[in-house]
Amino acid sequence: MRPSLESLRVLEACVSAGSFARAAERLFLTPAAVSLRIRTLEAELGQSLFERVGRRVVPTAAASILAGRVHEALSGIADALAEFQAATPPLRLTAPPTFASRWLAPRLARYVSPASSSIELDVSADVRDAHAFDVAIRTGCGGWVGLDEYRLTPVEVTPMLAPSLLGLRTLDDARALVDFELLPHPDWERWFAAARCETPADLHFASVDYPTHELDANAAVAGLGVALLSPSLFQPLLASGQLIAPFSCVLSGPAWHFALMRADDARLAPRQLCAWLHEQAQETA
């Protein structure tokens, strides 16, 4: 009977550690489990591997030679794996700036790739060609041709502003926003409709249209206007009191954030990453 690689690994650990107890610590096993492995290995090989000398158990000459050869083999396997992993190209992940910094980055550091692929993050609002990425996070309503979709979080917005901008004024009704300067956003009209308020004709908009929600948030924190922002993505700013969200109405959807990958990509690594991102979104839903 050919012994298992795990049993040979236990033998190598016992010889190199100098005792069953220290080998057990290295292998995160109990000393009893190590002793059982060695007895099983001796039965499989048909000869003793250790001899008792006084109070010590020492390997036989043949066991020492075998353990040395096992050590060389295990080192060769480790080197081969390291070379393989170094040669594996990184996964190309592209994501829009605000979602990347507010949702993705805090989670991505915890991701351990079963396929041992590193991740190359491309932060861009531009839509990349399907062959320029392995996984893409994009916003929409689904239905991308040739791409598999993993739904993450809904796109949601509500008015948010700095307490200093509100001052002593109140915002009990959406119509009161006419007294404030609003930061441009394409969903203002839809938010007013969701708040059951006809869009006021005399709204005042800031002259600067910031290209990202992150910049909108920075402007709002600086008191430069009321911004339509995601209360989930910008929860830290609400928790710290840098911004307040005075209205209960949160416009949600119909667009969602999706993780996308090419449908014809048979590799395991991108699908595992998409599935993990989906699981992360479900946990925080």
**196-250 tens-digit pLDDT:** 999 988 999 999 999 899 999 999 999 999 999 999 999 999 999 999 999 999 9
What is the average pLDDT score of the chain?
90
pLDDT at 162: 96
Residue 277 predicted with pLDDT over 80: yes
All residues at 6 or more sequence positions from 244 whose CB lies less than 8 Å from its CB, including other chains: 160, 161, 162, 163, 166, 238
**Contact assessment for residue 20 and residue 52, using Cβ atoms and an 8 Å cutoff:** no
Partners of 135 in beta bridges: 93
pLDDT in tens, 133-157: 899 999 999 999 999 999 999 999 9
User: Average pLDDT of 259-270?
Assistant: 91
pLDDT at 15: 92
Residue 121 predicted with pLDDT over 80: yes
Q: What is the DSSP letter of 128?
A: P
**Confidence class of residue 86 from pLDDT cuts 50, 70 and 90?**
low
Closest C-alpha among 258, 268, 34 to residue 144: 258
pTM (predicted TM-score): 0.65
